[in-house]
Amino acid sequence: MRQYWRDQESLLRWTRSAPHREWWQKFLKDSGGTGFWHETYLRRGGMEAIYDDIVPKIGFINFAPVVPARGSMFGAGSRAGMGFAAPPVLSEKELYEHSERGRAG
């Protein structure tokens, strides 16, 4: 599937609206074994790929450095260097506290 967006603000507005926001929050907490591979190409330069539950090395992961999406790298807007970056749909704290609790139990 491919999607093209008029601008970054339109994309961020859509990702934070229902039903996408609710789906993405649930998926990040538990993918149910479904793999997710997402690539972003910015018109003014730059690209990134995000992998969740992807076992084979595909896409950028074959040739580009892997940087964990933590801290300033957690939100897509901040990774893209956008000064207007909106908060992520699910905070880093919410995501990783949930994951760490699941491992402890």
> What does the pLDDT look like over 35-56, one tens digit per residue?
888 888 887 788 888 888 888 8
- Looking at the predicted structure, is the pLDDT value of residue 75 above 90? no
Could you tell me the two tokens for 96?
């990783």
For 6-42, the DSSP string reads S-HHHHHHHHTSTTHHHHHHHHHH--TT--EEEEEE-
Find out whether 84 and 11 touch, Cβ atoms under 8 Å.
Answer: no
User: Is residue 77 scored above 80 in pLDDT?
Assistant: no
The predicted pLDDT at position 83 comes to 60
Q: Where are the domains of the chain?
A: 8-104
**Whole-Å CA distances, 20 to 2, 24, 59, 81, 102:** 16, 6, 24, 23, 24
Hey, CA dihedral for 60, 45, 71, 100, is it positive or negative?
negative
User: Which token pair is 68?
Assistant: 């964990």
> Is a pLDDT exceeding 60 seen at residue 17?
yes
